[in-house]
Amino acid sequence: MRRLQAVFFLLFLTSVVNAQQQHGSISGIVSTKNGEPVAYVTVGVKGTSYGATTTDKGNFRINRINPGTYTISVSAVNIISQEKQVTVNAGQNEIINFELDLSNTQLKEVMVNARSNSVKMDNPSQSLRLQEPLIQVAQNIQVVSAQSIREQQIISMSDGIIRNVSGAVRLEHWGDLYTNITMRGSQIKAFRNGFNVVSSYWGPLTEDMSFVDHIEFVKGPAGFMISAGDPSGLYNVVTKKPTGQTKNEFSYTVGSFNLNRASLDLDGKLSKDGKLLYRLNLSGQNKGSFRANEFNDRYAIAPVLSYQVDDKTKLTVEYVYQRANMSDVGSYYIFTPKGYGALPRDLSDLPSGLPPTKINDHSFTVNLQHQINENWKLTAQAAYYKYSQDGTSMWADSVEADGRYYRNVGIWEAKSAMSLGQIFLNGKVTTGPVVHKILAGIDLGDKRYTADYAQTHSLDTGSAPFDPNHPNLDYPSNGYPVYDRTSSLEARAAAGFGLINSNYSSLYLQDELGFLNNRIRLTLAGRYTYISQSDFGTTSKAKRFTPRVGLSVSIDDFTAVYGLYDQAFTPQAGAVSIGKLKPLTGNNIEFGIKRDWLNGKWNTTVAVYRILKENELTADPNAPANSGLSIVFGQRRAQGIEFDLRGELLPGLDLTANYALTEAKVSKVNPGISEATGIKVGDVVPGYSKHVANAWLTYKLLNGALKGAGVSAGFTYLAGRETDTWSVGLQRLPDYFKMEGGLFWEGSKLRIGANVFNIFDKYLYSGSYYSYLNAYYYQAEAPRNYRLSVSYKF
């Protein structure tokens, strides 16, 4: 038997060798005329599906090509493609090099726009301030590309984005108003174009995807890149900018629950010399719900102008306006003592006559980039954000044992203003065999949030509570609220502890030392931050120096391992019932391995981490959820492992898949906390899922009569869901599984896609138990629903 196996093995080996000898390969280098490598451009064999992407050193290799004569093409956004002919012989590697005529500005644009049509992006945006591909960064950073957003028919930041990133969940959904993403055991910060845009716990207003190019998820502290953030991480929304190409696109989407949505993307030149460019994105939608009386009507306007002053200086000006007219922001929740999912999925307690919530969200950004010389670049940007909201938030006053409850409507009138500024310098210095990549800068911010949420009104009288078994959504027994607005919002906010202000400034310096032709990269960085903050009538000031040390080693051109130690220091806002309000501090220890496969067409990242957070605010478990009261419980330890895969596995076959194991527990308790709340060392910290797994697979036919047709499918699985409050109740949230998919066809100008969400029509929800109500509350997700989208490029 063993001899027979040996014979079969030899035959198999011989066949493999013969098969390999029947093929040839092509390799080479793509560079500029001055010798700079051109990274992340596509090198393709015309008329075939074979191709590769250049590495950061400009190298490429295409294997397993049948003998013959071919045309090889190099292409990327904003450059003229170059072609050469080559003859491939069996068993031989043919070397062919390309030299492109690119200026420094054009080369950087190529880097920025690389892989814009792929689910895998190799480079961070300029707002992350890095000077290297993601595979070389000593941190886990995952990017959701424009292609992924399109394939999955995502229309807002809170509409399915998180399935593309390991460990990201939304336990408190807040509908389509606020995104509120939890990752690595706690809520991460929201950024836009490198600015921290959080002015209160709830904000910012979730971004409409019409003006979003891609989203970067940074795991762990990121003070070395951008202004102060949470130790668990952040997401950075990168908005669309002019590309220098004249291209336009119109999209129209219809779907379940009376969804009607249109968007227009205009991209082009305002001057013949191409120095003055524009981008204009417009969108509008009407959107209903599977629950009665709920709606979310929105539109967005986002113009951008960029002017290339000269070869070294570029100015970009951007304005974004979002308008939302939507039903009450708390109507998604149902209350019952009978447990999760005890009532019909489509049950609503929202009366038809309650006035809608109206939101106006403005942002204005100016960005100036100046290339001082070949090695140094200066970037300065400033932003002003202005937000106003006038509406209400529903909750429950109390819940009866028979399931009836009393609805309460609180005013939520608010406004926010943020003035933000950043100046940073990127440079390169060589000292002997060591190359130093320098990052230095200043961050400034002033944030003011003013809100009246102190006035409340009970919709139901004592003799006529709301009965979920026989819901009456007509005029409530106690009428609709009439709030006292005789005094200014500022005066009402001050009286009701609704003022949240913070002012910060920070200096930072980072040196990444590259050894052995940059195969070993040692990062040494530090940031000094000063913060002054006031909230709920209290004011505090603090300052702190936070260090960062990272090491990244390239095993080969496609594999890197890294280790990281980083600290965080950021302001917090909230009314503290127990403890003293202080800035949040913490540190992150992380190790990981990153690898690009198939010449960079797809990649994997595996990371393990441990985060310690001090002085973190969490909701007071003894107070109503809408009270805004928090406690400073002590120290939290979060740890886990993350796996991410994304890219093109085979020609036409894209996959995004991820898994995360997360655990967060109390590691220290402040004096008085255990006695008042029952929280003790070793308790699970609520607000995450222990196991999170996602996948999204897309296959498109590249040849034949059905060329351009494709299918996609994906799922989300959550297990070990921890509730979002300390009151664990009598039931745990069950495991969660949601399947989605679709069909599409796309040509050079037209794309048609139809997607189905919650294919198996599962009753899905998120919620918790509140001991002060003696009841569960939960928010159901939509049943099976559909979207049909048509896009046309012109």
Q: What is the pLDDT of residues 95-132, one digit of tens each?
A: 899 988 776 656 655 655 444 458 998 888 888 888 88
Residue 553 has pLDDT above 50, yes or no: yes
From the list 572, 569, 669, the residue with the least C-alpha distance to 630 is 572
pLDDT band at residue 390 using 50, 70 and 90 as cut-offs = very high
**pLDDT mean over 457-482:** 95
Q: According to the model, what pLDDT value does residue 7 have?
A: 40
- Beta strand 602-614 with 212-219 is unpaired
Q: According to the model, what pLDDT value does residue 170 have?
A: 87
Count of C-beta atoms within a 10 Å radius of residue 672: 11
Q: According to the model, what pLDDT value does residue 240 have?
A: 96
Residue 632 has pLDDT above 70, yes or no: yes
Strands (DSSP E) found in 294-346: 296-308, 313-326, 333-336
Q: What is the pLDDT of residues 178-212, one digit of tens each?
A: 888 999 988 888 999 999 998 877 778 999 999 99
Q: According to the model, what pLDDT value does residue 17 have?
A: 42
**pLDDT mean over 585-589:** 87
Question: What are the tokens at 45?
Answer: 């064999």
Residue 706 has pLDDT above 90, yes or no: yes
Q: What is the pLDDT of residues 138-178, one digit of tens each?
A: 999 999 999 999 999 999 998 999 999 999 998 766 678 88
Give one DSSP letter per residue of 519-536, joined into a string.
TEEEEEEEEEEEEEEEET
From the list 302, 447, 449, the residue with the least C-alpha distance to 362 is 302
Question: What are the tokens at 690?
Answer: 């222990």
Residue 10 has pLDDT above 60, yes or no: no
Decide if 449 contacts 200 (C-beta within 8 A). Answer: yes
Residue 53 has pLDDT above 90, yes or no: no
User: Rounded mean pLDDT of the chain?
Assistant: 88
Residues whose CB is less than 8 angstroms from the CB of residue 344 and which lie 6 or more positions away in sequence, other chains included: none
Percent of the chain with pLDDT strictly greater than 70: 91
Query: CA 59 to CA 30: how far, in whole Å?
Result: 7
* Strongest mean pLDDT among 51-60, 512-521, 531-540, 564-573: 512-521
Query: CA 685 to CA 673: how far, in whole Å?
Result: 14
**pLDDT mean over 40-55:** 76
Residues whose CB is less than 8 angstroms from the CB of residue 575 and which lie 6 or more positions away in sequence, other chains included: 497, 535, 536, 627, 628, 629, 630
Q: According to the model, what pLDDT value does residue 621 have?
A: 74
Residues paired with residue 231 on neighbouring β-strands, in sequence order: none
Count of C-beta atoms within a 10 Å radius of residue 1: 5
Q: According to the model, what pLDDT value does residue 343 have?
A: 96
Q: According to the model, what pLDDT value does residue 658 have?
A: 98
**584: helix, coil or strand?**
strand
Q: According to the model, what pLDDT value does residue 13 have?
A: 45
> What counts of helices (H) and strands (E) characterise the chain?
5, 44
- Beta strand 212-219 with 233-239 is antiparallel
Q: According to the model, what pLDDT value does residue 104 have?
A: 61
Q: According to the model, what pLDDT value does residue 522 have?
A: 97
HSE-CB of 380 using CA atoms within 13 angstroms: 4
375 or 366, which is more confident?
366
Kindly report the pTM of this predicted structure.
0.85
Q: What is the pLDDT of residues 238-271, one digit of tens each?
A: 999 998 878 899 999 999 999 999 999 999 999 9
- Beta strand 24-32 with 93-95 is parallel
Decide if 197 contacts 647 (C-beta within 8 A). Answer: no
Count of C-beta atoms within a 10 Å radius of residue 609: 24
**Phi/psi at 46 (nearest 5 deg)?**
-60, 140
Q: According to the model, what pLDDT value does residue 51 have?
A: 72
Q: According to the model, what pLDDT value does residue 161 have?
A: 94
- Which residue, chain included where needed, has tokens 């969200």? 361
pLDDT band at residue 228 using 50, 70 and 90 as cut-offs = low
Q: According to the model, what pLDDT value does residue 670 have?
A: 84
Q: According to the model, what pLDDT value does residue 22 have?
A: 65
In sign, the C-alpha dihedral spanning 230, 330, 211, 504 is: negative
411 or 679, which is more confident?
411
Decide if 548 contacts 566 (C-beta within 8 A). Answer: yes
Residue 290 has pLDDT above 70, yes or no: yes
Residues whose CB is less than 8 angstroms from the CB of residue 578 and which lie 6 or more positions away in sequence, other chains included: 620, 631, 632, 633, 670, 672, 673, 676, 677
Count of C-beta atoms within a 10 Å radius of residue 618: 22
Query: CA 260 to CA 252: how far, in whole Å?
Result: 8
Q: According to the model, what pLDDT value does residue 790 have?
A: 98
The angle at the Cα of 557, spanning 35 to 162, to the nearest 5 degrees, equals 110
